[in-house]
Copies of this chain bind each other. A is one copy, B any other.
Amino acid sequence: MTELKIQHLLTLSYLLSKGAKYNYVTITTSALGKNIHKSQQAASKHLLELEQNKFISRIISGRNLSVKITNKGYSEIVKLSSMLQKSLDSYPSVVNLQGTLVSGMGEGAYYMGLKGYTKQFKSKIGYVPFPGTLNVRLDKKIHQEAMKQFETLDGVKIKSFSDGKRTYGWVKCFSAKLNNSIKCQLIILERTHHDESVIELISKTCIRKNTKLKDGSKISIKIEIDS
């Protein structure tokens, strides 16, 4: 049994939309050609091949060419379409990162403890994070590159604020899971302090204390993407 050639898909789809599931629809090959962005000759050949493989049946009377999709042809469209639909409906919406636990410079603790932030954290992510951030260095290029997409993803936005002396930039939060178990947030800062291969995580409690993780430990992080 010959498979449906992928380049015939558009032709079948066009015929279907013209009602060729239940009727012999009368068409011209040049109209079909225009629709599938091919020449009249190519369209003619498509129909001949489709007929040969029993995906359509053709009736010619005089100048008129009429075409109807067979059950076999229809089920091929359905098959392909649902395969595509399935991969669109259920592709993994998770960013997987791997890296190594490293030391920050303690500034995370300072910033995360500011009232202007903590108030928002409480209401927007549901808890006041432990004052301090967990820094993870992404060792592989694929993970560093994957981070770039967070620039355009939304996440939960913690607004910038000012204490009169200076302003503190916004923070974007993304729900994450560390080593498949510990709930935390990946945070993206408006003003980043270190190079792009290091990411920062916050969580309710002090992860370093509650686990045996220390500098140099290998870490995996999964970040859920909503949209």
Contact = CB atoms under 8 A, between A and B. Distances in A.
A41 interface: no
A101 interface: no
Interface stretch (A48-56, A75-83, A162-170, A189-197): A75-83
Interface in A50-78: 57, 59, 61, 66, 68, 77-78
Interface of A: 6-7, 9-10, 13-14, 16-19, 21-24, 26, 57, 59, 61, 66, 68, 77-78, 80-81, 83-88, 90-96, 140-143, 145-146, 149, 225
B96 A23 contact: yes
Contacts of A66: 142
A84 B83 contact: no
A84 B141 contact: no
A57 to B, nearest CB: 8
Nearest to A66: B142
A89 to B, nearest CB: 10
B85 A16 contact: no
